[in-house]
Structure 1
Amino acid sequence: MVHPYAVAGFLVAVLPLIATPGASLALLIQHVTDSGRRQALPIILGTVTGLYMHATLAVAGLSALVMHSSLAFTAVKLIGAVYLIGLGIWTWRSATPNAAPTPRRQRLSKRVESVYAQALLANVLNPKSAAIYLTLAPQFIAPHQSFGGQILTLATAHALLIAFWLAAWTLLIRRASHALQRSRFKRTVARTTSVVLIALGIRSAAT
């Protein structure tokens, strides 16, 4: 079991990373603005699932292989960059009104699945997220105790913190509900999100 002080220290260390705007927040702003606060849940779940996948891979040692192989690390980084750029382009194009919309219930079901997948892939394909559990998390675990259990405990604390952070942003976004209903405002947010995603992809590929 991880000492409570160690968990608190880990959360303090990852808080600046969580607070730095990234793909999850960009997706949250775009989808909540476009379709309401219900879209926050699949984004939070997708992001949290990605965190647990990185933690599990770190325990298994697979992420260590990627981080210690420059070729594998570069491949993962480029795949993630291409995904973010592609997602940004898709988001820009989706801001254009559809002349033949699908029924609301069917459209909502498909959107929830799509949003979850977007958030999941945005996190899984980010090697910097993997680095948290390979370089930062080990500093807060005791070597004489179960490594896997401690990593998963830290991952759970991390997941709760980022879920709270995204939920707080959801409430903040919805407070501007009147402005959010305007089609022009929605298109502006969607296109701004697309630019952010493309910029994140370019930055990921360049660093």
Structure 2
Amino acid sequence: MERRASNSAKLSPGSRSDGVLVTFGSACGLLVHAACAAVGLSALVMSSAHALTVVKILGGIYLIWLGVTTWRSARRGINATRRVRWRWRLPWAQFGGFGQGLWSNVLNRKAASVYLTLVPQFLTSSRPIAPQIAALAIAHVVVVLVRLLFWTSVVAAARSAIDTPRFRRGMSRLAGAVLVSLGIRIATAR
């Protein structure tokens, strides 16, 4: 019984293991953008004002949803947060932290912009484009993994020092307000 309880604690939302899953999901989201850039789909989305607007609005709505649920979890306390998570499920919530990281990055129009504006500066037209994009994407993913895994470890280590109900409520309210304001800004940006 003890082993089963410790395994479920490792995979609980907010744990170090969940943070690692979010990190790998984010990295896979970058690979999606790289693959789209390699086949030209990102260029199509960026050149189409309507497609870019849809991606922008979806990303904004997602941030607003995260902000509202974060704010609500602060008001209701930690036990109510677990109930809210099950009631307010996104389609990819069944994939846990990995799905959250993946879709957060796939819906991030700035990640697509990196592969359309920055990456072409490092490409050589005399060589095949897809392998060059793949090499740059791998370098990008490695940098992102190192950075996010470092911060996951820092936050996990600091968690015991700041894991009080009052601190959690304050941070949830602050994070919720920031996410809602970012979502509104992104959804209404021209």
TM-score (norm 1): 0.72
Which moved further from structure 2: 197-206 or 62-71?
A: 197-206
Question: How do residues 80-119 of structure 1 correspond to structure 2 at under 5 angstroms?
Answer: 80-95=59-74, 96-97=76-77, 98=79, 113-119=95-101
Q: 1:41 Cα deviation (Å)?
A: 0.8
Question: Which residue of structure 2 lines up, in the alignment, with residue 12 of structure 1?
Answer: none
CA RMSD of aligned residues (A): 2.4
AA of the residue aligned to 2:146: F
* 1:152-199 Cα deviation digits (max 9, x unpaired): 111111111111111221232234233332122223223322222222
**Residue 172 (structure 1) aligned to one of 154, 157, 165:** 154
Supply the distance in 1 between the matched residues of 2:108 and 2:25 (Cα, whole angstroms). Answer: 13
Asked whether the 8 Å contact 2:19–2:152 carries over to 1, the reply is yes
Supply the distance in 2 between the matched residues of 1:130 and 1:89 (Cα, whole angstroms). Answer: 26
**Residue 191 (structure 1) aligned to one of 161, 173, 182:** 173
1:49 counterpart = 2:31: no
Supply the distance in 2 between the matched residues of 1:112 and 1:172 (Cα, whole angstroms). Answer: 27
**Residue 47 (structure 2) aligned to one of 68, 81, 95:** 68
Structure 2 residues without counterparts, runs of 5 or longer: 1-12, 84-92
Q: 1:101 Cα deviation (Å)?
A: 6.0
AA of the residue aligned to 2:36: L
* 1:98-118 Cα deviation digits (max 9, x unpaired): 26968xxxxxxxx88332222
Question: Which residue of structure 1 lines up, in the alignment, with residue 56 of structure 2?
Answer: 77
Supply the distance in 2 between the matched residues of 1:193 and 1:100 (Cα, whole angstroms). Answer: 15
State how many pairs are aligned.
167
**Residue 124 (structure 1) aligned to one of 106, 116, 119:** 106
1:150 counterpart = 2:132: yes
Asked whether the 8 Å contact 1:87–1:194 carries over to 2, the reply is yes
